[in-house]
């Protein structure tokens, strides 16, 4: 059974039908890339996976998304718990205006962790997991804003990992980063899939080709094709996919 | 339409392959002509063309590498580029066989019995038509036309066997025929290889169009195994079909 099962998912923003009858299975502990031209519904799609779209009043969602068999849009669902299990990293690094340490412990504190030793352990584990520990271990009390863009993004990844999620969603995590910082994040993503399910939205098709196990192509709110990344980039089944990845559309 | 320059570059690649194919065919055509008419001047021209085709191969290779480095082609575009990289080797080999044939032109006067080996021009015609059609299949992205080449290769193999046996007979009859006979056998072998290379091109075209790799043992409809030039008995009986006839040698004037 797939970890995430999306069935007949439709999303509207007022009258704008942003996602149309999306059916998709996302395997656990794998990297799934979502590609497609701007406005195709990629970000909308991953934002439905941790109910981030709930914060937009005009948004309405129909259909079901099951994670490990539980419907995220079912009744009696605690959205905070969903977002603890399903973390998210955004396009622009968005650390809190706090120290590196406080950035990491912010969410665990909300979830009730008070013990200083436990928090210290979470900080070290999360920063190590995000391949940032060695670079910042001597200045944990310094402002996160002093870090470089790539480091800030890895801090955001560490922050997402601090609450031990099962799934981490990345919305264009490298589009604001230089190639070296991008390469570090990509290495990190591949490393992360040993422990987490990763879904990444990217404009960079080469990035999808490099890191993802499976790739899904969205176009005008529809899922056109989803399959093994290598096959999708070598011999896509759908003509639209071919046109998009060869740069003749979009 | 987006990526205008990239699309133009890919179209240019097609034109370069067609041009290289023309050079390769020119070398074979002139090589066979030089061989049959012992024309040393024509032989020298083919040797000069060898440099041309070598440069063309380098040019296409450079172009393909630039396309990969600068435009990162994927899917059918990537298959097109890798196909070009592969088939330029075949086209270069075809041209080189043309040169090899031309270099056998210095065999002195032919014994009258060898004049009767009319199958050489026919074999050349068949092989050349296969080269033409393999490049046409490439340009048209026609995997069916590419597949048809394999059946035609059997006809060429059959002719190779005929020439081999005929030459052998004349050589046994009179040892003075051994040089000429050996030359004829070599020429027939080169022509047979040219047809094989056009099949290789067809094989790449099929991959380029469909993305599927063909089982090498399945690509021919006959019992042939790859690398075996000599046809099996049932293939020997196969009738040689006519060709489009652009290849003519004035045999009577020799």
Q: How many residues does chain B have?
A: 254
Tell me, what's the ipTM? 0.72
Q: Give chain A's domain count.
A: 1
If one compares A240 and B177, the residue with the highest pLDDT of the two is A240
Token pair of A208, please?
């999808």
Of B186, B173, B188, B38, give the one whose Cα is nearest residue B122. Answer: B188
Each residue's pLDDT tens digit, B24-70: 999 999 999 999 888 899 999 999 999 999 999 999 999 999 999 99
H or E segment and range at residue A123: helix A116-129
**% pLDDT > 70, chain B:** 80
CA distance B69 to B77: 13
pLDDT value for B112: 60
Identify whether A127 is part of a domain: yes
Question: Does B7 lie at the interface with A, CB-CB under 8 angstroms?
Answer: yes
Tell me how far CA of residue A110 lies from CA of A15, A106, A182, A237, B13, in angstroms.
Answer: 36, 7, 31, 46, 61
> B-chain residues within 8 Å CB-CB of A206?
72
- Optimal mutation site among A228, A246, A250, interface B, most CBs of chain B within 10 A: A246
For residue B32, give how far its alpha carbon lies from the nearest alpha carbon of chain A (Å): 41
Size of interface A-B (CB pairs under 8 A): 34
Question: Does A122 lie at the interface with B, CB-CB under 8 angstroms?
Answer: no
State which residue of chain B sits closest to A246, comparing Cα positions: B74
Q: Give chain B's domain count.
A: 1
State the Cα angle at B233 between B232 and B239, rounded to 5°: 100
Each residue's pLDDT tens digit, A37-68: 988 999 999 999 999 988 899 999 999 999 99
pLDDT-derived band of residue B230, with 50, 70 and 90 as boundaries?
A: very low
pLDDT value for B107: 65
Window 209-248 of A, Cβ < 8 Å to B: 209, 233-236, 242, 245-248
Is the pLDDT confidence value at B217 over 70?
no
Q: What's the CATH code of the domain at A99?
A: 3.40.50.300
The mean per-residue pLDDT over the stretch A180-198 comes to 92
pLDDT-derived band of residue B231, with 50, 70 and 90 as boundaries?
A: very low
Token pair of B67, please?
């396309």
Residue matched to tokens 């993802």: A212
Is the pLDDT confidence value at B221 over 90?
no
Residue A32 φ then ψ, to 5°: -110, 125
Residue-averaged pLDDT of chain B: 84
Q: What is the DSSP letter of B219?
A: S
For residue B4, give how far its alpha carbon lies from the nearest alpha carbon of chain A (Å): 9
Question: Does B77 lie at the interface with A, CB-CB under 8 angstroms?
Answer: yes
pLDDT value for A231: 92
Tell me how far CA of residue A203 lies from CA of A23, A36, A38, A217, B251, in angstroms.
Answer: 21, 7, 8, 11, 65
Identify whether A250 is part of a domain: no
Question: Does A97 lie at the interface with B, CB-CB under 8 angstroms?
Answer: no
> A-chain residues within 8 Å CB-CB of B79?
234-235
pLDDT value for B148: 93
Q: What is the DSSP letter of A143?
A: B
> A-chain residues within 8 Å CB-CB of B72?
206
Interchain pair B2, A209: CB under 8 A: no
Q: What's the CATH code of the domain at B190?
A: 1.20.58.220
Interchain pair B75, A249: CB under 8 A: no
- CA B156 to chain CA centroid, Å, is 11
pLDDT-derived band of residue B225, with 50, 70 and 90 as boundaries?
A: very low
Is the pLDDT confidence value at B232 over 90?
no
Residue-averaged pLDDT of chain A: 93
pLDDT value for A111: 87
Interchain pair B75, A250: CB under 8 A: no
CA distance A245 to A234: 10
If one compares A120 and B226, the residue with the highest pLDDT of the two is A120
Question: Does A194 lie at the interface with B, CB-CB under 8 angstroms?
Answer: no
Each residue's pLDDT tens digit, A140-182: 999 999 999 999 999 999 999 999 999 999 999 998 888 888 9
Question: Does B54 lie at the interface with A, CB-CB under 8 angstroms?
Answer: no
Identify whether A187 is part of a domain: yes
Minimal Cβ distance to B75: which of A206, A245, A250: A245
Tell me how far CA of residue B68 lies from CA of A50, B56, B65, B73, B154, in angstroms.
Answer: 38, 18, 5, 6, 37
For residue B105, give how far its alpha carbon lies from the nearest alpha carbon of chain A (Å): 47
pLDDT value for B164: 92
pLDDT-derived band of residue B106, with 50, 70 and 90 as boundaries?
A: confident
> A-chain residues within 8 Å CB-CB of B75?
233-236, 242, 245-246
Interchain pair B2, A234: CB under 8 A: no
- CA A116 to chain CA centroid, Å, is 29
Of A52, A77, A61, give the one whose Cα is nearest residue A18. Answer: A61
Each residue's pLDDT tens digit, B147-164: 999 999 999 999 999 999
Is the pLDDT confidence value at B237 over 70?
no
State the Cα angle at B124 between B122 and B127, rounded to 5°: 110
> B-chain residues within 8 Å CB-CB of A209?
74
Window 130-189 of B, Cβ < 8 Å to A: none
Interchain pair A246, B75: CB under 8 A: yes
Residue A18 is part of which domain span? 4-245
Minimal Cβ distance to A206: which of B2, B7, B72: B72
Each residue's pLDDT tens digit, A196-213: 999 999 988 999 999 999
Question: Does B72 lie at the interface with A, CB-CB under 8 angstroms?
Answer: yes
Q: Which residues of B76-90 are buried (b: 16+ CB within 10 A; e: fewer)?
A: bbbbbbbbbbbbbeb
Each residue's pLDDT tens digit, A77-113: 898 888 889 999 998 999 999 999 999 999 999 989 9
> B-chain residues within 8 Å CB-CB of A233?
74-75
Q: Where do runs of H (alpha helix) occur along A29-78?
A: 42-49
HSE-CB for B129 with a 13 A CA cutoff: 22
A14 burial via Cβ count (<10 Å: 0-12, 13-18, 19+): exposed
pLDDT-derived band of residue B128, with 50, 70 and 90 as boundaries?
A: very high
- Terminus-to-terminus CA distance in chain A, angstroms? 33
Q: Where do runs of H (alpha helix) occur along chain B?
A: 4-37, 40-71, 75-102, 112-115, 119-140, 143-173, 178-210, 233-236
CA distance B249 to A211: 60
Of B132, B248, B143, give the one whose Cα is nearest residue B197. Answer: B132
CA distance B183 to B126: 19
HSE-CB for A136 with a 13 A CA cutoff: 30
Listed in sequence order, the residues at least 6 apart from A4 whose beta carbon sits closer than 8 Å to its beta carbon are A24, A25, A26, A49, A65, A66, A67, A167, A197, A199
Residue B77 is part of which domain span? 4-253
pLDDT value for A159: 95
Asked which of A123-132, A168-177, B81-90, B228-237 is least confident by mean pLDDT, the reply is: B228-237
CA distance A168 to A161: 8
State which residue of chain A sits closest to B4, comparing Cα positions: A248
């Amino acid at each position: 059974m797939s970890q995430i099962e999306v069935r007949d998912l439709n999303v509207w923003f007022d009258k704008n039908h942003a996602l149309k009858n999306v059916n998709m299975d996302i395997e656990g502990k794998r990297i799934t890339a979502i590609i497609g031209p701007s406005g195709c519904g990629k970000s909308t799609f991953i934002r439905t996976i941790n109910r981030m779209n709930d914060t937009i009043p005009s948004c309405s969602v129909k259909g079901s998304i099951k994670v490990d068999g539980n419907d995220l849009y079912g009744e009696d669902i605690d959205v905070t718990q969903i977002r603890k299990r399903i973390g998210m990293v955004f396009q622009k690094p968005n650390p809190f205006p706090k120290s590196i340490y406080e950035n990491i412990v912010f969410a665990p504190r909300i979830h009730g962790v008070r013990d200083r030793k436990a928090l210290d352990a979470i900080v070290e584990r999360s920063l190590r997991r995000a391949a940032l520990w060695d670079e910042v271990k001597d200045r944990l009390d310094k402002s996160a804003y002093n870090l470089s863009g790539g480091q800030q993004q890895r801090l955001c990844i560490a922050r997402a990992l601090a609450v031990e999620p099962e799934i981490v969603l990345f919305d264009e995590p490298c589009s604001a980063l230089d190639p070296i910082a991008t390469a570090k994040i990509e290495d990190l993503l591949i490393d992360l899939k040993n422990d987490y399910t990763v879904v990444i939205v990217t404009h960079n098709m080469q990035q999808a080709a490099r890191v993802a196990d499976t790739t899904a192509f969205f176009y005008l709110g529809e899922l056109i094709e989803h399959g093994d990344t290598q096959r999708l980039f070598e011999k896509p089944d759908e003509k639209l996919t071919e046109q998009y990845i060869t740069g003749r559309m979009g | 339409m987006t990526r205008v320059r990239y699309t133009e570059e890919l179209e240019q690649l097609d034109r370069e392959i067609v041009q290289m194919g023309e050079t390769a065919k020119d070398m074979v055509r002139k090589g066979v002509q030089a061989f049959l008419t012992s024309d040393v001047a024509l032989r020298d021209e083919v040797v000069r063309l060898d440099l041309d085709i070598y440069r063309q191969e380098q040019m296409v290779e450079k172009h393909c590498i630039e396309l990969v480095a600068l435009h990162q082609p994927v899917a059918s575009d990537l298959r097109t580029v890798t196909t070009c990289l592969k088939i330029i080797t075949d086209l270069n080999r075809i041209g080189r066989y043309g040169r090899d044939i031309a270099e056998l032109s210095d065999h002195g006067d032919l014994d009258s019995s060898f004049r009767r080996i009319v199958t050489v021009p026919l074999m050349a015609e068949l092989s050349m038509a296969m080269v033409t059609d393999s490049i046409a299949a490439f340009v048209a992205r026609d995997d069916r036309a590419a597949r048809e080449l394999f059946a035609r290769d059997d006809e060429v193999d059959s002719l190779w066997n005929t020439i081999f046996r005929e030459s052998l007979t004349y050589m046994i009859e009179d040892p003075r025929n051994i040089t000429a006979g050996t030359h004829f056998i070599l020429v027939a072998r080169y022509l047979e290889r040219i047809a094989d290379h056009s099949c290789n091109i067809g094989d790449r075209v099929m991959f380029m169009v469909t993305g599927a790799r063909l089982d090498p043992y399945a690509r021919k409809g006959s019992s042939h195994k790859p690398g075996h030039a000599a046809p099996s008995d049932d293939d020997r009986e196969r009738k040689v079909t006519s060709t489009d006839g652009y290849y003519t040698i004035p045999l009577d004037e020799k």
